């Protein structure tokens, strides 16, 4: 990524596993006058789902009697668990729910934690589900990817959008959120 920025090549990235160094890359991008766009998922539908997730969480913040849980299902070749998309969804929840302070894999160890349950099953489309449960009722939102075409078309849209720009961006910028 740094080599591309040094060469003034705009970068669109969706890889995970390096995000602990995001701030350093962001600083380098600004210092070099480069263009960098990162997204944990390029699907337009998933990015709309991210926004819907945060909006629903904002509404639910006033109703702590509902507990929230996140579940994701992917094919068995997917190595990361939870996925970057699931982590982005959990971070969206944490921004909006003041009674939640962290996420954990599989089981929430306390009431301040959002559980991310990950399943790897073949064959299966990528699915992410957010559910709010109370003793009275449940509320659920879900996104299912039927093909990889959505990820590819979103990445192309992001790359085309990035042409001629300088700075650090995300899919919210591309989609005008």
Q: Would you tell me the crossing angle of helices 44-60 and 84-96 to the nearest 10 degrees?
A: 30
Edge-to-edge strands of the sheet including 167-169? Answer: 11-13, 35-38, 167-169
Options 74, 100, 128, 143, the catalytic residue: 74
Characterize the bridge pairing of strands 67-74 and 113-120: parallel
Our answer to whether residue 62 is catalytic in this structure is no
Our answer to whether residue 78 is catalytic in this structure is yes
Options 78, 117, 165, 166, the catalytic residue: 78
Q: Which helix (H) or strand (E) holds 111?
A: none
Residue 73 to residues 69, 99, 101, 160: CA-CA distances in angstroms?
Answer: 14, 26, 24, 30
Catalytic residues: 74, 78
């Amino acid at each position: 990524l740094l080599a591309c920025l040094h060469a003034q090549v705009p970068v669109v990235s969706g890889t995970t596993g390096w995000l602990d160094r995001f701030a350093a890359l962001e600083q380098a991008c600004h210092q070099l006058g480069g263009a960098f766009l990162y997204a944990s998922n390029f699907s337009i539908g998933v990015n709309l789902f991210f926004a819907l997730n945060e909006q629903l969480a904002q509404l639910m913040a006033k109703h702590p009697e509902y507990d929230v849980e996140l579940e994701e299902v992917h094919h068995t070749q997917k190595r990361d668990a939870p996925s970057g998309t699931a982590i982005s969804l959990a971070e969206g929840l944490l921004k909006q729910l003041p009674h939640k302070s962290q996420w954990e894999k599989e089981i929430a160890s306390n009431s301040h934690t959002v559980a991310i349950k990950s399943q790897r099953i073949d064959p299966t489309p990528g699915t992410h589900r957010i559910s709010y449960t109370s003793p009275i009722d449940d509320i659920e939102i879900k996104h299912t990817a039927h093909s990889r075409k959505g990820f590819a078309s979103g990445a192309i849209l992001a790359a085309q959008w990035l042409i001629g720009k300088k700075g650090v961006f995300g899919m919210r910028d591309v989609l005008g959120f």
